[in-house]
Structure 1
Amino acid sequence: MIEFRSKAYYKVSAALAFGSFLVFCNLYLFQPMLPVLADHFAVSATHINWLLAAGTLTLALMLLPWAFASERIGRRKVLLISLFLLPAIGLTSLLTDSLLLLIISRALMGMALAGFTAVAVAYMAEEFSAKAFSHGIGAYISANSLGGISGRLFGGMLTDYFDWQTAVACMALLSLIGAVVVAWVLPQPNQQNTVQSSPLSQYHHIIIEHLKNKKIYFAMLIGGVNFAIFINLYTVTGFRLVSEPYAMPVSIAAMIFLCYLSGTVSSRLVGIWCQRFSPITGMLAGAIMGLLGMLVASNDSLVVIFIGLNLLSFGAFFTHSLAYGWVSQQAKKSKATATALYLVHYYVCGSLGGFYLIYCWQHGGWTQVMIGAGLLYAVVFWLCWRLGHYVHDKKEHTLQAAQ
């Protein structure tokens, strides 16, 4: 096992964190470009949203297949296959100026990204000691956040100063260099962690068992709907800021993604919260703060919008961290499959939520967006209530059975 603060620990942690950084850079590269690409292809905001949704949707759908493949061929092989596919797909997308083919390339990108996303944490869990894992996972999650922010800023600025093709080409080059570095640094896995070949039917039954567990499934839905609101309020805000009366350049509008940093802070506070309060109450509190942030961001002042987005990010990441951790803790077996299922709900809801909130934006502006997102927040509140009620009933039932 790799011990905390050993040379191997720093090598593996750095390699996986850098790989994660590249994955999320590629996933969200196109988000700030959407208003520019809508004009370039002369399509509506709803249609251009497929460039973001195609990647997140296929990522969600491929998480479990990649996880299953890693049980057969090994974690490290899947991690490297995933990373080396990124520059290949990125460069291929530059061979066409067809929106349909570009959407297909983004769907392929999502499928490739799912490999690293599905396997990286499992690799750490198998290779690291308990203490090393608890520290390494923090660096990995931070890299997720920083990659998402950097990819959006990178895409927005290069598109504004050059064009979107330059942004894609530069990201492909960075991804190729990164894949080579990770392949060089990441060691072969421990011989004790042998490749398994469990039958597919076994995973099928495990998935069904997790989905039937209301204590887990409600948390998956909370995380999914919460993400659907959060990521797509940012997308709509991007359209809002490049339109009149703001008429911002894409490079300046992309700066709103720096507000994600408040979410990085809130996710670190989850451990403190759980020592004193219920995780379910925290999920509800995070959603309430997110709703408050959205309402504050409805103001016309850019400073107030910035404050509102920080509140939104703080609350959304808080809810996500608690829901994600809850699923892992409550799953009595096959925790990796349970957390993969959580991410499936997370990204599917994020993809579908974009079409919903962008439709609201196109047909009623920011006011309609707030109404649409408000309905989704009502769903989150209801799910938190159902989860809390179900847990309370289970506890009472257990006590009565013990008596």
Structure 2
Amino acid sequence: MSLIRHGTPLFRKTSFAFFAAGFNTFAILYSTQPLLPVFSEEFKVSPAISSLSLSITTIILAISLIIFGSLSEVWGRKPVMSISMVASSVLCILAAFSPDFTTLLVFRTLLGITLAGLPAIAMAYLGEEMDARSLGVAMGLYISGNAIGGVFGRVFSGIVADWLNWQFAMAAIGVLGLISAIIFTLNLRSSEQFGSEAMHAGTLVSSMVSHLKDPGLRYLFGIGFIIMAGNVAIFNYMGYALTEPPYNLSQALVSWLFIVMIIGMYSSIWAGRRVEKFGRQKMLLISLLISFTGLLISLEGSLFSKVLALTLYAFGFFASQTVATSWVSARALQHKSQASSLYLFLYYVGSSIGGTLGGFFWSGFGWIGVAGMIAVFLMIGFWCARGLAKVERYRVAEVEAASAKENKHFGKS
């Protein structure tokens, strides 16, 4: 039972498989985001109701992440991921034939369940099967697949919906998903380092409670919630703003704005490298400040300012996400995968709440209302970062005190 090493044919096949998997999952998940104005017009629903086509998927995905992570301990890694990808692709195709908005929401709810099968397990598989020195490269390729899939799903669906219709766009993404699922299944070897275990609900619950008792992790979970809530809201309702006067942009042009999220591939690396130099707290504050700057610029009326605002906000969002996720792993001393699952749970809950709540602010107050809501989220983020710094200083002081006590004891001996 050998580990997978960088530079080998098996590494290339595995990385290709997970790139395809990330592409599949995030293209399907975010394919409806640029279509919200289209759904509002075609189904005669408000922006807040239209946003449920994304929000309901992410909230169900959040809940399902914890379930699938536990199921994979019993059923194995590859079977759950493969079934998840095929089922998600088929549901995406079926959703394209929805005769009304309620039916569309039913399919998007089911997608929230099936899509969770991949992100809940992918990191566990890579962590088990990859050689430690090769893990960083493999994880980077997987996350690149996530980013490119998310951008592709948004841009492609918006452009095709403008040229043809949203049904064709969604069906095409589902077909591409099936192709990705086939690539994944054919290229990924079955787990060799994994042994199935019986589920013990008591252990699962006790470890979860211990994570929630940690004030530092609670602050980090809160940061995950607020950064995703703000990110989804700004991209959801900027689409509405730019298709209305004075901009009157077509759906295809608005969809191209999602390409700015590619900057996340750079800002994640940028933040990760600077954490070692400046520390997590400073980089988290800088990243949140960059997003806040982008939000302020969005209040200026020109189209250039709107594009610049989205670019800066996305840069800060991905940088914040990088710092926070690495901090969760460092903060959780045991059951790290469960701590990550809890972070992702709050992260996607934030997506659902921010995405839908923003619709009410848009309908009531326009863009100034949406921006005000996001500003409140970011202020909570600054508060969480400050609280987290205090908790970290307290932990360092405890460790130093314990070390001094131990040294004093040995000195007497």
Partners of 2:173 and 2:263 lie apart in 1 by 25
Count the aligned residue pairs: 402
Letter of the 1:180 partner, please give it. I
1:148 is aligned to: 150
Mark the runs of 5 or more structure 2 residues left unpaired by the alignment: 406-413
Letter of the 1:37 partner, please give it. F
1:114 is aligned to: 116
Letter of the 1:303 partner, please give it. F
Partners of 1:314 and 1:35 lie apart in 2 by 25
Q: CA deviation at 1:98?
A: 2.0
1:73 to 47, 72, 75: 75
Q: 1:12 to 1:162 in 2, by over 3 A?
A: same
2:49 is aligned to: 47
1:175 is aligned to: 177
1:335 is aligned to: 336
Equivalent pair of 1:54/1:104 in contact (CA under 8 Å): no
Partners of 2:28 and 2:96 lie apart in 1 by 14
Equivalent pair of 1:12/1:185 in contact (CA under 8 Å): yes
Equivalent pair of 1:236/1:361 in contact (CA under 8 Å): yes
Q: CA deviation at 1:96?
A: 3.0
1:326 is aligned to: 327
Equivalent pair of 2:295/2:313 in contact (CA under 8 Å): yes
Cα deviation, 1:265-324, whole Å, max 9, x if unaligned, reads 110112321211121221111111101001112222212211111111111111111001
TM-score (norm. length: structure 1) = 0.97
Name the stretch that deviates more: 123-132 or 371-380: 371-380
Letter of the 1:30 partner, please give it. T
Q: CA deviation at 1:16?
A: 0.8
Q: CA deviation at 1:80?
A: 0.3
Equivalent pair of 2:18/2:141 in contact (CA under 8 Å): no
Equivalent pair of 2:288/2:320 in contact (CA under 8 Å): yes
Equivalent pair of 2:15/2:141 in contact (CA under 8 Å): yes
Partners of 1:370 and 1:249 lie apart in 2 by 23
Name the stretch that deviates more: 84-93 or 237-246: 84-93
Cα deviation, 1:227-268, whole Å, max 9, x if unaligned, reads 110121011101101111111111100111111122221101
Q: Which stretches of structure 1, 4 residues or longer, exceed 6 Å deviation after superposition?
A: none
Alignment of 1:382-393 (within 5 A): 382-393=383-394
Equivalent pair of 2:76/2:194 in contact (CA under 8 Å): no
2:256 is aligned to: 255
1:104 is aligned to: 106
Q: CA deviation at 1:36?
A: 0.8
Equivalent pair of 1:28/1:148 in contact (CA under 8 Å): yes
Q: CA deviation at 1:355?
A: 2.0
Letter of the 1:167 partner, please give it. A
Q: CA deviation at 1:392?
A: 1.2
1:228 is aligned to: 229
TM-score (norm. length: structure 2) = 0.95
Letter of the 2:120 partner, please give it. A
Partners of 2:100 and 2:263 lie apart in 1 by 37
Identity %: 29
Q: CA deviation at 1:217?
A: 1.8
Equivalent pair of 2:211/2:339 in contact (CA under 8 Å): yes
State the structure with more CA Rg: 2
Alignment of 1:2-401 (within 5 A): 2-190=4-192, 192-401=193-402
Equivalent pair of 1:229/1:353 in contact (CA under 8 Å): yes
Equivalent pair of 2:20/2:181 in contact (CA under 8 Å): no
Three-state SS of the structure 1 residue aligned to 2:245 is coil
Q: CA deviation at 1:198?
A: 3.5
What is the CA RMSD across the aligned residues, in angstroms? 1.2
Letter of the 1:372 partner, please give it. M
Equivalent pair of 1:80/1:183 in contact (CA under 8 Å): yes
Q: CA deviation at 1:325?
A: 0.8
Equivalent pair of 1:279/1:326 in contact (CA under 8 Å): yes
Q: CA deviation at 1:169?
A: 1.2
